[in-house]
């Protein structure tokens, strides 16, 4: 529309900061079949909503990446991609659960460089259904010792009842940010909720009685305030259905 | 996308109006907003409205009583998409759930985020109009003894073509008492960020100053060197920047937070374009106004300054809009174009009370100029060319009442409605309520 105008104000867009958002997906053998299919579907359908939200967020440049782990870990998206250009690549499952390997790869990206020295806290969303088969502990400690690791906002989605919740708790540093998805409707809701962390990080609310602080806890961490009323609650499931996906 | 209420659902309002859900418009923290059609007795949609429907946790009795109060008081001004009536129809929704009807926002209105992201490109005049319309809206709201409590990007819209503005999400507006929101990060007054105060009329004034700064400078007034130094802009960093240690980027007595080239370019570019009077109000807002909530710049002072912006725009020969700076002129310094650097030729102006308007071809003066009432819709005078002498310009009386022209020599001549008074330096016009000096 500016071509038709004879006058244009000077200046550019409001200055913003990069916001790195990383999907970390367990692709071990137990995720094979419908489970990984549902994760693929849920994340893919959340991306347009993330892009919409990013268009209304003047404070952040939302950059997305996907990391998968099974036997070893691998970046599906090697470089951070602007949410407008991000396409979900379907993941396939098979192999063991080298979660520590995934943490190592994240650590290598949250170091400056390649990480810029001026950003919003990164958001890490871990989706897993099982127990790590490698030494996750050393890798997680290393990640959480990094300045950007400490500042990151970490959410975990546990699929079914087999995931080791205590390990996911260690990852998020906050029980409330470990979400339990018992069926595919839960999964969609929780992935969608986790995706809104991007907006919450760029304009964090001040705490009050109905909120919960995310992050590792302690004075060096980066708490992010979520509205506890909106954290999705898993649906009541028939115990027999827990593993029926 | 489907919302909680399905398309084509018919709902009966508290005033027994029947509405049909057309589509879901959006979803926010508190609830969902739908486009709904008001139905005639025959079941035809006669006009469109918006319906906000609260999520269960937000459909509280406190919210209901706020809305009932707002509906019974009525809208402070046209700029508000004010709640019109309540809807709690238990046939389609769980008991206790409710929503409210408000006017629908027309499509040609854009969000302020569109301005921040350069998706729209209004002129300085249109932008000043938007600033005027919004400030006047909040002034009227405060005049009713109410506080908005959450002035921020998300609940404002504007028409980039003509500067018309809309204020929505009026359901947090309160008349004292407990406020259900804290406001929006970056817009909240420092005392709220520090947890020492609740939103109020005085914190609205801080948020308004932030909003005006964003509109004009496309930048936040507290984001300078201190922001650039921060690596991770997390909640602790933000609490310090906007709450515990706020420093205005152009604080004349504290240079520690000046904008940094490369990070804060808009602030550097725009600050020099605006005249001293509006900049002085920003300085006051973010120095004295940070420390003393009760001494913040009031809407009327903003309105006077914004009106002088609106009636002080000169088109340079390079087609850029340039703001006339009265203080520079008083010091005998000409205004130069920010774009091409050329000096703007002297322009005739009229000063009436607190108002100053440049008199150029096509200039109109409004009721505000002669009555000081912030009424900018009804024109009372137009600059005209003498048909018998094209070198002579005059101010035509369109006010409905006779004026008196006081010539440079002190002679007094009546100016009937429809007649024009010669624009001559040193001449005066007695408009009845106020005298203007050319």
| DSSP class per residue in B41-90 | TTS-EEEEEEEEEE-GGG--HHHHHHHHHHHHH--SSTTB----EEE--T
Residue-wise pLDDT for A33-86, tens only, equals 999 999 999 999 999 999 998 999 999 999 999 999 999 999 999 999 999 999
The owner of tokens 């035509």 is: B396
Helix (H, G, I), strand (E, B) or coil at B321: strand
pLDDT number for residue A162: 82
- Long-range CB contacts for residues B357-360, cutoff 8 Å, separation at least 24: B357/B311, B357/B312, B358/B311, B358/B312, B358/B313, B358/B314, B358/B324, B359/B383, B359/B393, B359/B395, B359/B423, B359/B438, B360/B314
Helix (H, G, I), strand (E, B) or coil at B365: strand
Shortest alpha-carbon distance between residue A29 and chain B (Å): 34
The token duo for B8 is 């084509």
Binary contact (A5, B192; C-beta < 8 A): no
The candidate with the shortest Cα–Cα distance to A222, out of A168, A150, A154, is: A150
Kindly list the residues from chain A whose CB atom is less than 8 angstroms away from the CB atom of residue B195.
Answer: 206
A78 contact partners, CB below 8 Å, separation of at least 6? none
Q: What is the DSSP letter of B11?
A: E
Work out the pLDDT band at A229, boundaries 50, 70, 90: low
pLDDT number for residue A218: 37
Work out the pLDDT band at B90, boundaries 50, 70, 90: low
Q: Is A35 left (phi over 0), alpha (psi -120 to 50) or beta?
A: alpha
Interatomic CA distance for residues A222 and A17, integer angstroms: 16
Q: What is the mean pLDDT of residues B127-144?
A: 97
| Gyration radius of chain B's alpha carbons | 25
Q: What is the DSSP letter of B336?
A: B
CA dihedral B188, B193, B199, B201 (to 10 degrees): -60
pLDDT number for residue A130: 81
Helix (H, G, I), strand (E, B) or coil at A54: helix
Helix (H, G, I), strand (E, B) or coil at A189: helix
Interface probe with A: pick from B231, B238, B339, most Cβ of A within 10 Å: B231
**Mean pLDDT computed over every residue of chain B:** 93
Is A237's pLDDT higher than 80?
A: no
CB contact A209 to B (< 8 Å): no
User: ipTM beyond 0.85?
Assistant: yes
Q: What is the mean pLDDT of residues B144-173?
A: 94
CB B130 within 8 A of CB B163: yes
Shortest alpha-carbon distance between residue A120 and chain B (Å): 5
pLDDT number for residue B26: 84
> pTM for this structure?
0.92
Shortest alpha-carbon distance between residue A129 and chain B (Å): 30
CB B83 within 8 A of CB B100: yes
Shortest alpha-carbon distance between residue B252 and chain A (Å): 23
Comparing CB atoms, the residue among B188, B218, B231 nearest residue A11 is B218
Binary contact (A5, B121; C-beta < 8 A): yes
Kindly list the residues from chain A whose CB atom is less than 8 angstroms away from the CB atom of residue B188.
Answer: 206
CB B103 within 8 A of CB B284: no
Interatomic CA distance for residues B261 and B269, integer angstroms: 10
Binary contact (B113, A58; C-beta < 8 A): yes
Q: Which residues pair with B6 in a beta bridge?
A: none
pLDDT number for residue A158: 94
Interatomic CA distance for residues B130 and B118, integer angstroms: 16
pLDDT number for residue B96: 74
Kindly list the residues from chain B whose CB atom is less than 8 angstroms away from the CB atom of residue A223.
Answer: 234-235
Residue-wise pLDDT for A162-219, tens only, equals 888 999 999 999 888 999 998 888 898 899 889 888 888 888 765 543 444 443 333 3
Residue-wise pLDDT for B381-421, tens only, equals 999 999 889 889 999 999 999 999 999 999 999 999 999 99
Is A224's pLDDT higher than 90?
A: no
pLDDT greater at residue B3 or residue B236: B236
Element (H, E) at B392: strand B389-397
The token duo for B131 is 């600033």
Residue-wise pLDDT for B95-135, tens only, equals 678 999 999 999 899 999 999 999 999 999 999 999 999 99
Q: What is the DSSP letter of B147?
A: B
Q: CA-based angle B434:B436:B438, to the nearest 5?
A: 175
Burial B298-328 (b: 16+ CB within 10 A, else e): bbebbbbbbbbbbbbbbebeeebbbbbbbee
pLDDT number for residue A226: 57
């Amino acid at each position: 529309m500016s071509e038709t105008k004879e006058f244009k104000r000077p200046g550019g867009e409001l200055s913003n900061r990069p916001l790195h958002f990383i999907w970390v997906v367990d692709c071990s053998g137990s995720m094979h079949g419908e489970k990984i299919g549902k994760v693929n579907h849920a994340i893919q359908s959340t991306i347009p909503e993330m892009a919409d939200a990013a268009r209304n967020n003047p404070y952040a440049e939302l950059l997305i990446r996907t990391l998968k782990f099974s036997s070893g870990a691998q970046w599906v998206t090697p470089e951070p991609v602007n949410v407008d250009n991000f396409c979900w690549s379907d993941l396939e499952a098979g192999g063991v659960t080298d979660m520590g390997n995934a943490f190592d790869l994240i650590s290598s990206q949250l170091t400056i460089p390649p990480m810029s020295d001026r950003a919003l806290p990164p958001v890490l969303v871990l989706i897993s259904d099982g127990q790590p088969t490698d030494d996750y502990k050393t890798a997680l400690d290393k990640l959480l010792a990094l300045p950007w690791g400490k500042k990151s906002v970490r959410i975990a989605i546990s699929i079914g009842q087999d995931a080791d919740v205590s390990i996911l708790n260690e990852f998020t540093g906050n029980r409330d940010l470990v979400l339990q998805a018992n069926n595919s409707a839960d999964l969609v809701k929780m992935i969608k909720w986790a995706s809104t962390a991007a907006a919450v990080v760029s304009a964090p609310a001040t705490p009050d009685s109905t909120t919960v602080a995310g992050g590792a806890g302690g004075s060096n961490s980066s708490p992010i305030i979520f509205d506890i009323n909106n954290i999705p609650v898993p649906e009541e499931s028939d115990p027999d259905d827990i593993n029926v996906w | 996308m489907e919302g909680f209420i399905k398309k084509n659902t018919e709902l009966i309002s508290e005033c027994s109006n029947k509405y049909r859900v057309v589509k879901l418009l959006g979803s926010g923290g508190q609830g969902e907003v739908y486009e709904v059609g008001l139905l005639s007795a025959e079941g035809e949609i006669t006009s469109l409205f918006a319906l906000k429907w609260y999520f269960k946790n937000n459909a509280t009795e406190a919210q209901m009583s706020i809305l009932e109060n707002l509906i019974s008081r009525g809208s402070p001004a046209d700029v508000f998409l004010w709640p019109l009536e309540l809807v709690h129809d238990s046939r389609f929704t769980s008991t206790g759930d409710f929503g409210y009807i408000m006017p629908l926002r027309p499509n040609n209105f854009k969000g302020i985020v569109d301005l921040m992201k350069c998706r729209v490109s209004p002129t300085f005049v249109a932008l000043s109009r938007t600033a005027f319309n919004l400030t006047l809206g909040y002034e009227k709201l405060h005049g009713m003894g109410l506080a908005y409590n959450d002035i921020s990007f998300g609940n404002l819209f504007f028409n980039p073509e003509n500067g018309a503005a809309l204020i929505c999400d009026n359901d947090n507006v309160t008349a004292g008492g407990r406020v259900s929101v804290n406001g929006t990060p970056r817009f909240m007054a420092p005392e709220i960020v520090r947890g020492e105060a609740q939103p109020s009329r005085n914190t609205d004034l801080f948020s308004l100053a932030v909003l005006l700064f964003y509109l004009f400078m496309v930048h936040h007034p507290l984001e300078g060197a201190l922001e650039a130094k921060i690596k991770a802009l997390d909640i602790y960093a933000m609490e310090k920047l906007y709450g515990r240690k706020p420093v205005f980027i152009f604080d004349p007595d504290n240079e520690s937070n000046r904008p940094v080239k490369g990070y804060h370019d808009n602030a550097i570019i725009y600050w020099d374009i605006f005249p001293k009077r509006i900049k002085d109000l920003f300085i006051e807002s973010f120095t004295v106004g940070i420390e003393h909530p009760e001494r913040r710049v009031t809407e009327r002072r903003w309105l006077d300054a914004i009106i002088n912006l609106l009636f002080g725009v000169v088109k340079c020969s390079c087609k850029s809009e340039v703001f006339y700076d009265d203080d520079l002129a008083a010091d005998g310094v000409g205004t130069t174009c920010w774009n091409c650097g050329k000096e703007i030729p002297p322009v005739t102006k009229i000063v009436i009370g607190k108002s100053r308007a440049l008199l150029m071809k096509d200039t109109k003066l409004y009721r505000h100029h002669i009555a000081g009432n912030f009424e900018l819709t009804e024109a009372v005078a137009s600059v005209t060319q003498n048909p018998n002498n094209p070198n002579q310009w005059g101010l035509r009386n369109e006010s409905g009442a006779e004026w008196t022209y006081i010539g440079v020599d002190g002679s007094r001549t009546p100016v009937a409605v429809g007649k024009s008074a010669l624009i001559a330096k040193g001449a005066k016009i007695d408009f009845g309520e106020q005298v203007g000096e050319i």
